[in-house]
Structure 1
Amino acid sequence: MKRGTFQLMKSVNKSIILNKIRTGEPISRAQIAKETKLTPPTVSSIVKELIDEGIVMESELGESKGGRKPTMLLLNHNGFYVIGVDAGPSSVVCILADLSGKIYERVSSPLQEITRNEEFLKVLTMSVRSILKSVDDKSNVLGIGVAMHGVVDIETGTSVIAPNLKLQNIPIKETLEKEFQMVVKVENDARAMALGESWFGDHGLLESMLAINLGSGVGAGVVIEGKLYHGAQDIAGEIGHMTIDMNGEVCACGNRGCLQTFATGSAIAKLAKLDSGEEVFQLANEGKEKYAQVLREVGTVIGIGLTNLIHIINPQIIVLGGGVSKAEKFILPSIKETIEKRGLTDEAKRTRIVVTKLSDDATLLGAVALLLVELFE
């Protein structure tokens, strides 16, 4: 969808009505007017526009409350699509998803021997172009959401620092908008994961959520009332650099004892004196107690970090994702036990800690949600 068309679809009242339909479907025009305080003529006029645009559709009649049965409204979930991109340290993964998060196409492109911004952008552009080949009507694509590791300037859509690629100042938004003439949103990958959990993780209506990505690095996203919180200097969620042991190992950031020196795959491998975190998990699964104990100890350290975050942010739920979270049967009991011991209040001790049901797609669906937030809210 062209950038101008996207803006035409988006207005304050349209967004209010769209979000009401999204969260309440099936829903009648009268109910929308009642709950939004918009006048019935305004609701009817905007709903007509949304139906004409193909983003909303009418369903069978609802129950009568004395008069004629109302016509119910639903989102036309597969009428529009979004391209979601997870630009990780080793590959670029692109998906084509509809408004409900259903994935129709997927393309993965390796990032090998990337040394310049232009090389990265070439892989990114080729991946998006490959996904677009599967779409008959490009005007039905709302835009492109990109989840990028490292520090991201969300206003300009620039990857300021991509540490795992050793690249800086990559103009992702500028390049993709110029190439495809679509709306492009770029966000840090851990924050995107949090948004994906908020929209598609089946956690119910929440006022606050913390989602943590435990993988090659440790990052988090804070979602408050459906919106990502970025902080004053745009570094909210950099929990991997929370100090756990001031005399600990030197972190990549230069400080000692960061959570990241304990809770990543490579850190776990180092603790176990093996080549990879996957190998530690495999041996633990095979009943090797020595390696199961390593994972339990890592869970304790993560639990200390999460207790700190519970005391600061006090989220309703903490969702764990990333490769390390797949060792949940070893780390999750230790995490919960640690929070139970260290939580300040009974309520804090009972904070819900879960592992994502979206698996590796949480970040990709978060990239999709970057566009949906713009449209619906």
Structure 2
Amino acid sequence: MSENILTGSFKLMKSLNRSAILNKIRNDGPISRAEIAKQTKLTPATVTNIVKELLLSEIIIEKNQGRGVRGRKPTMLVINSSNFHIIGLDIGPKKIHVVLSDLDANLLEKYQTLIPKKITSDGLLNIIKDSIHYVISKKHIDKKKIIGIGVGMHGVVDVEKGLSLFAPSLQLRNIPIKKYLEHEFNMVVKVENDARAMALGEAWFGDGSGANSIIAINIGRSVNAGIIINGELYHGEHFMGGETGHMTIDIDGPRCSCGNYGCLQSYTTGPAIAARAKHEISIGRESILREWVDNDLELIDGKLIHEAAIKGDPLSIEILSQAGKYLGVGLTNLIHVLNPSRIIIGGGVSKAGDFLMDSVKQSIQKRVLEQSANQTEILISKLGDYVTAIGAISLLLVEIFPPDQQSRTSIIL
């Protein structure tokens, strides 16, 4: 294989005509050259020349399938998904998840590591670097076959510069993730806010597929959303689009970490749910939680509350239901402003399932202006703990298969 075609595979895939052909093969393959020319309106000569380049790079391969009208087997084209790889990272408040996948997001390797409580920007970048090297070495992957690295970073991200402007949970600013990783690995690096990366992952490989517009809400230690409108990620003027956790739900509510009062995340995050349980038990409410933590209420967290709810603990069920009620208020606001086709909920709190979702849906049903708005689907993500890392993979795929070339029924980004 030609070295320059291989090392330039990302650029090779990005040209307009190549993207049109790659999209057609990805969405409708196995497909013949003649059918590609017919459906894309490109000339047969153009299709032949570009297909030749793509075959040389091994991005696509030929596959014999079926018979023509005269009994001859037509040569069909398919994406050679298993031949190329992408690295995806989810850099959260406490952990880094790293995955190595093929172009179909089949996860070939997964790895996670804890982030120390007190860490510098340089320290974080070193952990990220070492984690990527580890994943590559585990599978003995040829670096030339890695198209790039996608990063979902919590907090505010300058997408154009690949810069983490502010990571609130780590209290770090201006982390040059893209610059550092591109220098270290000599490959394309895309950096995005974690919730927007999650939305991208849902659109490509989750419940967002086939929807015209979606909102993906990540609820864990904070609340953030990735918003997709007419097939495109919404960033906002200063990359702040999706900061739904700081939507005011009650102006007389508790003080949020941001300094305001009554923010959505003051009612719905894991720490907020745990804080309410501790308060209720401290003023005399009965709960099996007290016994489970041997009266050390500081040991109560969201996961323990969920486990108690499964055991039928009335207080835990009530607290999760109340969190769902407030979340429903916030989602109703989003429905009225953006009117998405679907809202997909992920993150640790989403694991509460029906204990949360029943009251979410009831709250929305009571508050929507029109019954048609109540038809917005509210779903819990099925992509699990690696949804943001999968979304980070999609940051590369969306460059290769740009939205204006794609079939919306297959993918919306």
TM value normalised by structure 2 = 0.87
Match of 1:350 in 2: 375
How far apart in 2 are the matches of 1:226 and 1:135? 36
Tell me by how many angstroms 1:78 deviates: 0.6
How far apart in 2 are the matches of 1:348 and 1:69? 50
Deviations 1:182-240 (A, max 9, x none): 10011111110000101111543222111000111100101234331111221111100
Identity percentage of aligned residues: 50
Of 222, 240, 245, which aligns to 1:235? 240
Query: Structure 1 pair 79/132, CA: closer, same or farther in 2 (3 Å)?
Result: same
Matched, 1:185 2:190: yes
Amino acid at match of 1:316: S
Query: What SS is found at the alignment partner of 2:141?
Result: coil
Contact kept, 8 Å, 1:209 with 1:223, in 2: the verdict is yes
Of 283, 295, 313, which aligns to 1:288? 313
Matched, 1:260 2:265: yes
Match of 2:56 in 1: 52
How far apart in 2 are the matches of 1:78 and 1:313? 38
Query: Structure 1 pair 191/203, CA: closer, same or farther in 2 (3 Å)?
Result: closer
Query: Structure 1 pair 195/266, CA: closer, same or farther in 2 (3 Å)?
Result: same
Tell me by how many angstroms 1:14 deviates: 0.9
Amino acid at match of 2:194: D
Tell me by how many angstroms 1:72 deviates: 2.4
How far apart in 2 are the matches of 1:357 and 1:33? 37
Contact kept, 8 Å, 1:3 with 1:181, in 2: the verdict is no
How far apart in 2 are the matches of 1:327 and 1:188? 24
How far apart in 1 are the matches of 2:33 and 2:259? 57
Tell me by how many angstroms 1:358 deviates: 0.4
Deviations 1:108-144 (A, max 9, x none): 2221143311111111111111112123321000011
Contact kept, 8 Å, 2:244 with 2:264, in 1: the verdict is yes
Tell me by how many angstroms 1:174 deviates: 0.6
How far apart in 2 are the matches of 1:221 and 1:6? 25
How far apart in 1 are the matches of 2:94 and 2:248? 27
Write the mapping of 1:299-318 to structure 2, written as runs, cut at 5 A.
299-318=324-343
Query: Structure 1 pair 336/121, CA: closer, same or farther in 2 (3 Å)?
Result: same
Match of 2:231 in 1: 226
Query: What SS is found at the alignment partner of 1:27?
Result: coil
Q: Give aligned pairs, total.
A: 377
Contact kept, 8 Å, 1:2 with 1:181, in 2: the verdict is no
Of 81, 85, 92, which aligns to 2:89? 85
Write the mapping of 1:100-249 to structure 2, written as runs, cut at 5 A.
100-133=104-137, 134-249=139-254
Query: Structure 1 pair 124/336, CA: closer, same or farther in 2 (3 Å)?
Result: same
Contact kept, 8 Å, 2:207 with 2:381, in 1: the verdict is no
Match of 2:363 in 1: 338
How far apart in 2 are the matches of 1:44 and 1:347? 48
Contact kept, 8 Å, 1:210 with 1:223, in 2: the verdict is yes
Tell me by how many angstroms 1:244 deviates: 0.5
Contact kept, 8 Å, 1:218 with 1:238, in 2: the verdict is yes
Contact kept, 8 Å, 2:95 with 2:113, in 1: the verdict is yes
Name structure 2 gaps, 5 residues minimum. Answer: 279-296, 403-413
Amino acid at match of 1:362: V
Match of 1:9 in 2: 13
Contact kept, 8 Å, 2:97 with 2:386, in 1: the verdict is no
Match of 2:289 in 1: none
Tell me by how many angstroms 1:254 deviates: 1.1
Contact kept, 8 Å, 1:80 with 1:140, in 2: the verdict is yes
Tell me by how many angstroms 1:272 deviates: 1.4
Match of 2:410 in 1: none
Write the mapping of 1:320-335 to structure 2, written as runs, cut at 5 A.
320-335=345-360
How far apart in 2 are the matches of 1:225 and 1:67? 44
Contact kept, 8 Å, 1:206 with 1:225, in 2: the verdict is no
Tell me by how many angstroms 1:69 deviates: 5.0
Contact kept, 8 Å, 2:6 with 2:145, in 1: the verdict is no
The more displaced of 109-118 and 261-270 is 109-118
Query: What SS is found at the alignment partner of 1:360?
Result: helix
Tell me by how many angstroms 1:106 deviates: 1.7
Contact kept, 8 Å, 2:64 with 2:73, in 1: the verdict is no
Match of 2:293 in 1: none
Query: What SS is found at the alignment partner of 2:82?
Result: coil
Deviations 1:317-376 (A, max 9, x none): 111100000001111111111222212222210111111110111101001111111111
Superposition CA RMSD, Å: 1.8
Contact kept, 8 Å, 2:98 with 2:132, in 1: the verdict is yes
The more displaced of 124-133 and 7-16 is 7-16
Deviations 1:50-75 (A, max 9, x none): 12211112223246468855332211
Query: Structure 1 pair 302/181, CA: closer, same or farther in 2 (3 Å)?
Result: same
Query: Structure 1 pair 163/282, CA: closer, same or farther in 2 (3 Å)?
Result: same
TM value normalised by structure 1 = 0.95
Query: What SS is found at the alignment partner of 1:78?
Result: helix
Contact kept, 8 Å, 1:62 with 1:72, in 2: the verdict is no
Tell me by how many angstroms 1:166 deviates: 1.0
